Amino acid sequence: MDFIRDYADWFYLIGAVLFILTLRGLSGPKTAIAGNRYGMIAMAIAVLTTFFVAENPVVWMIVGAMVLGAIIGIARARTVPMTQMPETVALMHSLVGLAAVLIAVAAIIHNNELAKLDVGLLQENGVNFHEMGKVHLFELFVGCFVGAITFTASVFAYGKLAAKKWAKTISGTWVKPVQALIFIAMFAAGIHFFLTGNMTSFWAMTGLALVFGWVWIAPVGGGDMPVVVSLLNSFSGWAAAGIGFTLENNMLIVAGSLVGSSGAILSYIMCKAMNRSIINVLFGGAMGGTAVAVEAGDKAPRNHRSGSADDAGFLMSNADSVVIVPGYGMAQGRAQNAVKELANLLKEQGVTVRFAIHPVAGRMPGHMNVLLAEADVPYEDILEMDEINSDFPATDVVLVIGANDVVNPAAKDDPSSPIYGMPILEAHKARTIMVIKRSMATGYAGLDNDLFYNDKTMMIFGDAKKVVEDMTKAINGNGH
- The catalytic residues are 405
With residue 323 as reference, give the H or E element that holds it: strand 321-326
> What are 397's strand-pairing partners?
322, 432
DSSP 262-321: HHHHHHHHHHHHTT--HHHHHHT-TT--HHHHHHHHTSPP----B--HHHHHHHHHT-SE
247 and 103 Cβ atoms separated by less than 8 Å: yes
Residues 6+ positions from 122 with CB-CB distance below 8 Å = 128, 129
Q: What are phi and psi for residue 66, nearest 5 degrees?
A: -65, -45
Backbone phi and psi for residue 427, each to the nearest 5 degrees, phi listed first: -65, -25
CB 358 within 8 A of CB 433: no
Question: Could you count the other beta carbons within 10 Å of the beta carbon of residue 228?
Answer: 26
Q: Residue 166 and residue 110: Cα distance in Å, rounded?
A: 36
End-to-end CA distance of the chain: 68
Question: Given the DSSP bridges, would you call strands 397-401 and 432-437 parallel, antiparallel or unpaired?
Answer: parallel
Please choose, from the candidates 358, 357, 460, 461, the residue with its C-alpha nearest in 3D space to the C-alpha of residue 411: 358
In contact, 379 and 29? CB cutoff 8 Å: yes
174 CB contacts (<8 Å, ≥6 apart)?
A: none
Q: Which residues contact 177 (CB under 8 A, 6 or more apart)?
A: none
Local structure of residue 429 (DSSP, 8 states) = G
- List the strands of the sheet with 397-401, edge to edge: 382-384, 352-357, 321-326, 397-401, 432-437, 457-461
d(C-alpha 163, C-alpha 158), whole Å: 8
Chain mean position to CA 24: 18
87: nearest Cα among 179, 197, 279, 222: 222
